[in-house]
Amino acid sequence: MSKPSTVDEYVTSAPKEVQVKLREMRSCISKVAPGATESLKWGMPAFSYKRILVTYAFFKHHIGYYPTPSAIKAFTKELSGYKTAAGSIQFPLDQPLPLNLISMIAEFRVKESQEEDKKWKE
């Protein structure tokens, strides 16, 4: 099987039950990041403006969500029930996705990106 070259190919390469979760995640993020570009970065779906906002990927037992260390730090309390690392979160496949939390984190990244870009323009 060849490596996916688009986000759609990436999603359809996942097992059927995981495809549903990937589509939910994609829709959830796209709603709070209007106008963001979708592409594959490091083989994972990514949403970007001038910089990468978030990426995500499926694994055997979880979906990884990569919103940067600053987002993990900002949502430490809300993420206490999930396995996290410096810049990643694991959402187990046997549980519903926390779409509200995913949205809040993506929205945080959108604002953070806009603020960083604003600093460069000043």
Q: Could you tell me the domains of the chain?
A: 7-117 (3.90.1150.200)
Q: Which of 47, 63, 43, 22 is nearest to 109 (CA)?
A: 47
Helix (H) / strand (E) element for 45: namely strand 44-48
Rg, the chain, Cα only? 14
Examine the pLDDT at 104 and tell me if it is beyond 80: yes
- 10-67 pLDDT, tens digit per residue, is 999 999 999 999 999 999 999 999 999 999 999 999 999 888 999 999 999 999 999 9
pLDDT of res. 87:
92
Question: pTM of the entire structure?
Answer: 0.91
Burial class (CB within 10 angstroms; exposed 0-12, middle 13-18, buried 19+) of 38: middle
pLDDT of res. 100:
97
Examine the pLDDT at 7 and tell me if it is beyond 80: yes
